[in-house]
């Protein structure tokens, strides 16, 4: 099956200083699972999804059809490129390879997202796949799991949630003097 998901990244202007369980952003807004008759239909569906939502695509590069389609149609600007941690340079190809060492990262990102944000997820297909998958070795049978992982890799990162957890846990009670400091003239 062809899979896809759209993720609304953390929006500081909306969710700054809001408890994580009440965030409106940092959640999935669309998911896609289908087997169109032609690969081109699937690739076009992914492109139209990105255009509609104004979202970037972090495709699986082990199946290059999607990013090749985006480039062929002149929409390469919708492709997300990872920055190589070793060189700090943008990779030559967009996306991620779900068949290499990224499997553990994908699985971990899914697990961490479920723990912190799963109760806010409104997508039954994503929730069902999270519920049904038993281990990392089964990931090829769950088409949305790598899509969700790809979104989370391209998002501002799981660290954003951890950063806000730390701030909220360490936050002391504010007084009116903290909000309206007195000026000495």
The reported pLDDT for the residue numbered 173 is 57
- Residue 164 to residue 116: CA distance in whole angstroms: 11
Residue 184 in any domain: the answer is no
* Residue 51 CB-density burial (10 A; 0-12 exposed, 13-18 middle, 19+ buried): exposed
Residue 145 in any domain: the answer is yes
CA-wise closest residue to 57 among 82, 39, 40 = 82
Q: What are phi and psi of 128, to 5 degrees?
A: -65, -45
Q: What are phi and psi of 162, to 5 degrees?
A: -65, -40
The reported pLDDT for the residue numbered 165 is 54
pTM: 0.79
- What are 95-114's pLDDT values in tens digits? 888 777 688 888 888 888 88
Residue 170 in any domain: the answer is no
Residue 17 in any domain: the answer is no
Residue 176 in any domain: the answer is no
The reported pLDDT for the residue numbered 32 is 95
The reported pLDDT for the residue numbered 166 is 55
The total domain count for the chain is 1
Name 33's Cβ contacts closer than 8 Å, sequence gap at least 6. Answer: 1, 2, 3, 4, 125, 143, 144
Residue 152 in any domain: the answer is yes
The reported pLDDT for the residue numbered 180 is 58
Question: Can you tell me whether residue 3 is helix, strand or coil?
Answer: strand
The reported pLDDT for the residue numbered 176 is 54
The list of the chain residues with pLDDT below 70 reads 101, 156-185
Residue 75: domain span: 2-12+22-161
Residue 56 in any domain: the answer is yes
């Amino acid at each position: 099956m062809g899979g896809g998901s759209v993720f609304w990244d953390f929006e500081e202007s909306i969710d700054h200083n809001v408890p994580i369980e009440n965030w409106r952003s940092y959640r999935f807004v669309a998911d896609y699972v289908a087997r169109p008759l032609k690969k081109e239909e699937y690739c076009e569906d992914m492109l139209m999804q990105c255009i509609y939502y104004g979202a970037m695509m972090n495709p699986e590069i082990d199946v290059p059809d999607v990013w090749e389609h985006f480039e062929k149609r002149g929409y390469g600007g919708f492709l997300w490129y990872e920055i190589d941690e070793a060189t700090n340079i943008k990779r030559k190809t967009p996306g991620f390879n779900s068949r290499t060492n990224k499997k553990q990262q994908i699985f971990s990102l899914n697990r961490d997202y479920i723990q912190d944000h799963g109760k806010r997820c409104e997508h039954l297909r994503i929730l069902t796949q999270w519920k049904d998958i038993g281990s990392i070795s089964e990931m090829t049978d769950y088409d949305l799991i790598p899509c969700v992982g790809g979104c989370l890799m391209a998002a501002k990162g799981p660290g954003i949630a951890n950063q806000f957890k730390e701030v909220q846990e360490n936050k002391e009670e504010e007084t009116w003097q903290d909000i309206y400091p007195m000026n000495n003239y």
